[in-house]
Amino acid sequence: MTTRPPSRHPQQSTEPFVIVVDDDAALREALSSLFRSIGLKVELFASAADLLGATLPDVPRCLVLDIRLPGVSGLDFQAQLAKSGVDMPIIFMTGHGDIPMTVRAMKAGAVDFLTKPFRDQDMLDAVSTAIALDQTRREAKKAVSDVQTLYETLTAREKQIMALVTSGLMNKQVAAEVGLSEITVKIHRGHEDVSVGHRGGRPLRRAPAIGTWASERPGTGAVR
């Protein structure tokens, strides 16, 4: 089976999908049939280079990757993706894995390490877990982005007060620190609560740290 290029208009779909990278055409075909049998979309690639040259939809997904590929090992490709900021759950396949190899892959964030021949159900379970993890990661990233956007709507004074409150100061202490009355501080805090939002009835007090935290996260999205 030949490698198929990604869909021409992948951005129009939001359905999760599986990326398979393996130089064994028969295995690619078998995995494609397996995933499609449960309604999952699949993109097939014969090499890591083919995947890097593709533009893929930025939706929940996972990568099923052979440990030995033409030109690069699966482990090295895993490291390359991480260095490039591509955050994608990986399931490794191998015909001759060993414990050190498995440990290295799992420490680097692999979801599973399957030895060929593996049971279809083991692969499906691993893919289900991986896609769920990617969905959770995307939701968390969006939540951080939403809070960061709302935080930026606060005035400089409100940000200052929120930072002091986050550090553990009481309203009276904050008032003394910024040279305002306690009632004025309470008014500012009320606006912060409305602007930034609540979770479970409590204001998101960690908002002052959101900008720094988010800027340190690696970029995600399409492979290219």
**CATH number for the domain including 186?**
1.10.10.10
Distance CA 70, CA 76 (A): 12
Q: Which tens digits make up the pLDDT trace of 57-67?
A: 899 999 999 99
- The CATH number of the domain holding residue 60 is 3.40.50.2300
Residue range 109-129, pLDDT digits in tens: 899 999 999 999 999 999 999
Q: Does residue 33 lie within any of the structural domains?
A: yes
pLDDT band of 1, cuts 50, 70, 90:
very low
Residue 197 reports pLDDT greater than 60: no
Number of domains in the chain: 2
Q: What is the pLDDT of residue 7?
A: 43
Q: Residue with structure tokens 């602007």?
A: 195
- Domain of 167 in residue numbering reads as 152-215
Asked if residue 105 lies in contact with residue 115, where contact means CB atoms within 8 angstroms, the answer is no
- For residue 18, the surrounding DSSP H or E stretch is strand 17-21
* pTM above threshold 0.75: no
Q: Is residue 178 part of a domain?
A: yes
Which pLDDT does position 203 carry in this prediction? 44
Contact 45, 3 (CB under 8 A): yes
Tens digits of per-residue pLDDT, 125-183? Answer: 999 999 999 999 999 988 888 888 888 888 888 888 888 888 888 888 888 888 888 88
CA dist 108 and 88 (Å) reads 12
28: left (phi over 0), alpha (psi -120 to 50) or beta: alpha
**Helix, strand, coil percentages for the chain (3-state, nearest 5):** 50, 15, 35
- One domain, residues 31 and 113: yes
